[in-house]
Structure 1
Amino acid sequence: MMKRQDYKRVDFILKKIYYDLSTAGAYLGPDKLYQVLKAKGVKNVGKHSIRSWLQNQDNYSLQKPARKTFEKAKVVVAGIDDQFDADLADLSSLSKENGDSEDIYYFTTQNSSTKANIAERVIQTIKNMMFRYFTKQKTHCYIDVLQDIVKSYNATPHRSLNNIAPKDVKLADIWAYMYLKPRKMKSKRTVTPYHYKRNDIVRLSHKNMIFDRSYDEHFTREIFKISQRMRMQAICVYVIKDFMDQPVRGHFYECELQRVNKDEDALWFIHFVEKKIKKAQTKW
């Protein structure tokens, strides 16, 4: 953190550039601002000071791009039937030729961006088989043959299972694959230090939408506090809480958080009005 006197000096310099649209570097990131200051001959304002100042500017921290791909903890299971992977196969466009059935019962994870990658791959293969069947039989009715398609899939040898069909997999095969198969030696992972400390104030990244744009708000207007930090498979994860000390469910990776310099007594703007309550005047 910068000293109060240093922050006032940096704040005075950067506000004159960042908020003046007639000046180079207006409303841009720390690298561009640093280049502009360097070209103007301004000294003693480094990139760290610029980033620290930008953390206090809502217009920057809300629109700051959020990383979409980063290392996540692996899912480790103990054996067969320990955990199941499920996903929705959307065939609603074929409902008219399958008894108008559109009932969908499903559940989602807390993190909607988490994908059921194995289930998605199985669904892709099943759909490929179905639509080839449709082309051959000149129909889009699959209800009568769906179980046959699944049975055929489960009887087909899989390369990822050492060319064993799913229906023939036994505990001994899983044990051999997990523990007896020679594996490549991996280099020892260096333990990365924590990026955030307890009680740091952070924003939480919005879940990525399909058509989000770089100028959209990528982080929440609401801010949170870091309450705990830990490592999962050497990856830093955090637990956060709101300003009423209510915990937020789940663990969050560093790339899903952004530190901000925000005073608890700062002025807050109303984003939208969710509901209005009408009050009637009563005379007695």
Structure 2
Amino acid sequence: MAEKRVMKRLYYKPSHPGSFGGVERLHKAVQDETGKKVRVEDVKDFLSSQDTYTLHKPARVHFPRNRVFVTRPLKQFQADLCDMRALADENDGYSYLLTVIDVFSKLAYVRALRKKTAAEVVSAFESVFRESKTPEKLQTDAGREFFNKSFKILMRKHNIVHFATASDLKACVVERFNRTLKTRMWRYFTAKNTRRYVEVLPDLVKSYNNTYHSSIKMRPVDVTKENTRRVFHNLYGTPTPRDKSKQKLKVGFKVGDVVRISKLRGVFDKKYEQSFTDEVFTVSECIPRTPMVFKLKDFDGEVIEGSFYEQELQK
């Protein structure tokens, strides 16, 4: 195909305006060169066959994900450790805050820790569970402070399903609470001209739990078994026809397709560096959620842990 030869020549010629760019730029360059109309799909097909393009295509981070519905209080907690070492000298050596929040009611619990050892973290959780009762599930990041023998024993003791978020995205509910708590703490610091928080921390948490929360449209302390249905409606509303129609969107991959996986990037990773893995995988299953997710297997036929959104894959 003559157009394909032109595409290859222009794409790999550093001095040409259409070189090493994206679909639009190469499409325009080929049409200008040949004087003919060229299909955009043909340009996309050519680029998808070139490693220099697919490996460095920008990986999308922000896109719609499967919505997780939590149906009642004590169904799922999220927890995190806030690093407060910069203020340890003013706070009797306390260097971390364990923050725990009920995803449904938004009720929060905080414990100050001197170290983030397994023993201290387990002790802090036992204290939280005495105050709150135990949840069915607990979501944390994959840090060692949450994944160790002692913590596993604690989870088994209370019959809690513990899991980590298998992506670069954090547990957003507890992250949002952390920001709220820290904002209140730093305002207190400014008002009192101090950096000491250990005595006032319980009051700040109590204040948060007694403050109207916009997502549940009430105070976290007011969420009860009796008003669960109202809270659920305030949180999630009622699925609309538009929500349901998302299932009919065109799916980008099918079983048997060979794909690369987006590399997980930190906030400061350079966007021009390689965005997708060198290793290729095969789509083994298309799971009909909203949006669709995919299971993969490697060259040896081993199924890869977790599932992947279309935006995390690249042909």
- Do the aligned partners of 1:73 and 1:235 also contact (CA within 8 Å) in 2? yes
Structure 2 equivalent of residue 128 of structure 1: 183
Structure 2 equivalent of residue 178 of structure 1: 232
Bigger mean CA offset, 103-112 vs 77-86: 103-112
Quote the offset at 1:99 in angstroms.
Answer: 2.7
Q: Deviations over 1:88-136 (max 9, x none)?
A: 3232211222233442356333434223222122222221222222223
Aligned mates of 2:300, 2:64 — CA distance in 1: 31
Quote the offset at 1:40 in angstroms.
Answer: 1.7
Match runs of 1:1-284 below 5 Å: 6=1, 9-41=2-34, 43=36, 45-102=38-95, 103-104=115-116, 107-108=141-142, 109-163=164-218, 165-178=219-232, 186-188=240-242, 189-190=244-245, 191-232=248-289, 234-259=290-315
Larger radius of gyration: 1
Quote the offset at 1:172 in angstroms.
Answer: 1.4
Identity %: 33
The residue identity in structure 1 corresponding to 2:91 is N
The residue identity in structure 2 corresponding to 1:174 is T
Quote the offset at 1:229 in angstroms.
Answer: 0.5
Aligned mates of 1:176, 1:89 — CA distance in 2: 32
Gaps of 5+ in 1: 1-5, 260-284
Aligned mates of 1:183, 1:71 — CA distance in 2: 17
Distance 1:66 1:181, change over 3 A: closer
SS in 2 for 1:111: coil
Structure 2 length as normaliser, TM-score? 0.71
Gaps of 5+ in 2: 96-114, 122-139, 143-163
Higher-helix-fraction structure: 2
SS in 2 for 1:86: strand
- Do the aligned partners of 2:223 and 2:231 also contact (CA within 8 Å) in 1? no
Quote the offset at 1:180 in angstroms.
Answer: 9.4
SS in 1 for 2:314: strand
- Do the aligned partners of 1:198 and 1:229 also contact (CA within 8 Å) in 2? yes
Distance 1:94 1:180, change over 3 A: closer
SS in 2 for 1:59: helix
Quote the offset at 1:41 in angstroms.
Answer: 2.3
User: How many residue pairs were aligned?
Assistant: 250
Distance 1:166 1:230, change over 3 A: same
Aligned mates of 2:237, 2:306 — CA distance in 1: 33
Aligned mates of 2:61, 2:236 — CA distance in 1: 33
Structure 1 length as normaliser, TM-score? 0.78
Bigger mean CA offset, 120-129 vs 43-52: 43-52
Structure 1 equivalent of residue 151 of structure 2: none
- Do the aligned partners of 1:223 and 1:242 also contact (CA within 8 Å) in 2? yes
Aligned mates of 2:199, 2:69 — CA distance in 1: 37
Q: Deviations over 1:138-170 (max 9, x none)?
A: 32222222222212322333343333x322321
Q: Deviations over 1:9-66 (max 9, x none)?
A: 4543222211122333111222211111111225474222221121121111111111
Structure 2 equivalent of residue 263 of structure 1: none
Aligned mates of 2:24, 2:59 — CA distance in 1: 17
Structure 1 equivalent of residue 145 of structure 2: none
Distance 1:130 1:110, change over 3 A: closer
- Do the aligned partners of 2:215 and 2:235 also contact (CA within 8 Å) in 1? no
Quote the offset at 1:182 in angstroms.
Answer: 11
Aligned mates of 1:186, 1:14 — CA distance in 2: 45
